[in-house]
Amino acid sequence: MDPSTQSSFSNRLSVLQEQPYNAEPDLVALVAQPYTPDELIYCRNHSPVKCLEADTFTLSVRGLVQNALQFRLDDLKRIFPRVEVVAALQCAGNRRKTMAERKKRNVDGVKWNEGVICNVRWAGVSMRQLLLAAGVRPPAEHDKPLHLCMGSHIAACSDDNWFGTSISLEKAMDEEGDVIIAYEMNGHPLTPEHGYPFRVVVPGYTGVRWVKWVDSILVSDREPDNFYHKRDYKVLPEEVCSRDQAHAGGWWCKVPPLQFNPLNSVVASVSLRTSPQTFLCVKGYAMAGVTGQVKAVEVSIDSGRTWRDAHITYQEGKWSWTLWEATLELSDAAERVWCRAIDESGAVQPADSDWNLRGLAYSGYGEIDLRKVEGNVGRSCRL
């Protein structure tokens, strides 16, 4: 398939919204491999998916730069060295349905389950090198913080005429930040639904900052005045119960945009092992927060009174997800299994997190109800 001229959505995704297209994979299939194959990568869109021509689509770099630049895909490949980064991409609304069910309060947005995450080997060009080529001075040489504003103008979105957001110039130019303009995923060109011919990859940041089909980079002393940056993707206080209330109370201006992923973990699957004894195998994933990579994952069958270590089966660098599994001996007891992640700083995933209107960044304990598992394997399980 020529990714510039064709798009076919995976039949292995569950569609939650047809227009714009939003879909997520089955959790059991998702955690079966360290790198997420194309057909299991969730799709999050605010506009129709466009099939763009690489030889005509351009990226402009302008604003507070010495040299305004413009690139096509071939230019990026020819001028800059290819770099790779393994990084997990997670939608800010991952686990939104879980938040709504636990809090027994409705949330505003696509009712995502817990599979709106993927782990990918991205390849492209360093954002830092791109900005240096445009003559952008390092953040420390400026007298105030600057912003890297990123936009896509290929199609009108549901709530604005274009899509725009920003990250700090400090993150964009951090030698350890690994921000790139990606044109490959898992060793092949991006597909249209994932941003062909190129997209932004911002490791450690929530998915809304990873702009697909990016055609504009602007270095500015102001954040973009775009709906998705100024009036969306913000964790509003619990007392703000509607968009009208948020607008009337000025909350969209008071609350900063959500940038970082929270420390998180999810129970993805359970299965029986019957040789030589009968055990329950529990698997899942964990996601690092802002204070360091995941160091451990623990599981509990007694509502968190006692915990035991799970075995980490995959982790790669500081930006990947973490896959884990635990083996539980069967006996007469538990109805649920919980999990929690602990990071390098000692931070522990909380038992619960606050409700917010948009259902963003939910990070309470991962959980599975064993009574609902096929075969009712959980009616007798202990650590």
pLDDT of residue 333: 61
- Contact criterion met (CB below 8 Å) for 263 and 349: yes
Taking each continuous run of H as one helix and of E as one strand, the counts in the chain are 8, 20
- What lies within 8 Å, CB to CB, of 250 at 6+ separation is none
Phi, psi of 230 (to 5 degrees): -95, -30
pLDDT of residue 378: 40
State the span(s) of the chain assigned CATH 3.90.420.10.
Answer: 13-254
pTM, full prediction: 0.94
Kindly report the number of other CB atoms within 10 A of residue 309's CB atom: 12
- Give the CATH number of domain 264-379: 2.60.40.650
Kindly report the number of other CB atoms within 10 A of residue 221's CB atom: 13
State the span(s) of the chain assigned CATH 2.60.40.650.
Answer: 264-379
Q: Is 96 helix (H, G, I), strand (E, B) or coil?
A: helix
Rounded Cα distance between 97 and 123, Å, is 32
CATH topology of domain 13-254: Sulfite Oxidase; Chain A, domain 2 (3.90.420)
Per-residue pLDDT of the chain (383 residues), as tens digits, is 445 445 679 899 999 999 999 999 999 999 999 999 999 999 999 999 999 999 999 999 999 999 999 999 999 999 999 999 999 999 999 999 999 999 999 999 999 999 999 999 999 999 999 999 999 999 999 999 999 999 999 999 999 999 999 999 999 999 999 999 999 999 999 999 999 999 999 999 999 999 999 999 999 999 999 999 999 999 999 999 999 999 999 999 999 999 999 999 999 999 877 777 778 899 999 999 999 999 999 999 888 889 999 999 999 999 999 999 999 876 556 789 999 999 999 999 999 999 999 999 999 999 999 877 755 454 333 34
pLDDT of residue 8: 74
Angle 366-35-31 (CA atoms, 0-180°, nearest 5)? 30
pLDDT of residue 7: 60
pLDDT of residue 383: 41
